[in-house]
Structure 1
Amino acid sequence: MPDALKMPALGDAEFRHLQKLMADASGIQMAANKRPLVAGRLMKRLRHYRLGSFNEYLRLIEQPLYRQERRLVVDLLTTNETYFFREHPHFDFLASWLLRQRGPLRLWSAACSSGEEPYSMAMVMSEHATTRDWSITASDLSLSMLHKAQEAIYDISQAKYFPEGWLQRYCLSGVGDMSGRLRIQASLRERLVLREVNLVQPLSEDLGLFDVIFLRNVLIYFDNDEKKRIVQRLVHQLRPGGLLFIGHAESIHGFNLPVRLVQPSVYECL
């Protein structure tokens, strides 16, 4: 293979450096089996700067002038799989819970990625909330993901898990150059408040209290002590009777929190 096409090796020292960078910036613990993924995602940045090794790239991002590049590394390594109505029993439970609620409602998608989760929440709210006075805060560590959520443009294949009729009700279909894509309607986009939040840092006082918090498929990336601190912070932001949703593969057992299990991976704040 010609040298120009070879992927430089991500050595042990370089990978440990990146593990520390991610842990310091986001609290995320990158397992050893993530090394190929890390190398693949950062390879485009080496090509961008015409660098021949990961060691050169790491030296570059340590320079004060490349602070934004260091931030881009975190963005590239924290993007995860997401899609509309992922773990759909959660949305079914939310829909039934909403029918018993009265008054204003505030929801928080605490690791919203590119927006599929909060827009799924917004569709459920539009269908089932007994009040029109509701809003959704959608937060993420990744600025690039927040930008995608703001654009709210997705491949049409994302609609495969939509309930019947909801694509036509809540989305615009692309034409011409946008053919094969959809955009969430403005009426739902306007319900979202997008903000950058690092869950391993103390939360801003202006975040306020919520009736529902989705914290799904993110705890798996933290060690047990960090998980506990994150969940404690978020439960503190829940009103009594409010709901906390976590991923079906996640657990907060033994964290001694003021919550009770009401459905698999759904907790009510006491």
Structure 2
Amino acid sequence: MLDRIIQQFGLQVQSINGVEDSHSSTIYKCTLSTSENVFLKFPFSKLKYQREFEAYEILKGRVSVPEMLDYWSGDEECHGALLLSELKGKTLTPAATPKIAYQVGVLQAEMHSISPPAVLTTITNEFPNWSDFVKDQFYSFAEDVKAILDEKLYEKAINKFENMRQHLPSPDGPSFVHMDFRPANIIVDHDQVSGIIDFESVRFGSTDIDFTKLYRDFLSCDVNLYHAYQEGYKSIRPLIDLENVLPFCQFTDAFNSIGWCKRRGIEKNALFLEENLVRLKNWLL
């Protein structure tokens, strides 16, 4: 299939390497005969392909993202493929400076400033029923989590979810939300943020869901990064009360991630599963 897509896009390829830290899609970095790097992405499902395709159409010229150079809508054997330009740099790490954190805040706020267009084809606007969307996601994963947690811990998790969600503030939106806004999807080139990648899970909804993974893997590492990020975000649009919302989002993220690991394979995702079991038990015990 890879050879077929390379031929489909008319690429003259020098070398091909798989991309790590892609938990869903299959991605290859291709160095062309011109020494230019491009990326071939094979989304996990047809829906994810369609979401990503539509996201690039919506974000083009508004948020710093790769350029969609070409695409193929797929057939019975393949969900589809995207040919994407390279954002220069490497993925974000906690070693970044407050200057970078400020830019990350600006980038996310620019994305959150995008409202639903008049016509959507695949990306859904969940904002009008946001509370139900969050609840449905939680209970969908609960079916998988139940097979992993002991009964008492599972019951504690359900009770905590129901209690916490009763005290949430009103949703903030409708905004374009990434749903996987984490350091591995943010590209940094020296002292500049190049942009963001990976839009196969995007929705229009409340911004609260988008801070969780960034805080977990980046902002919580250094209070200076956290403060700089907030200043960058607030330079574009108002920021919700993170202290009030993050506990609920962190708890549900740990719970849902356990369910995700069960669906995608416990052995293959053993480390991620263990990390989230520890997080969930810290919330419950």
Q: Give the alignment's TM-score, normalised by structure 1.
A: 0.29
Q: Give the alignment's TM-score, normalised by structure 2.
A: 0.28
Q: Which has the higher contact order (CA 8 A, sep 6+)?
A: 2
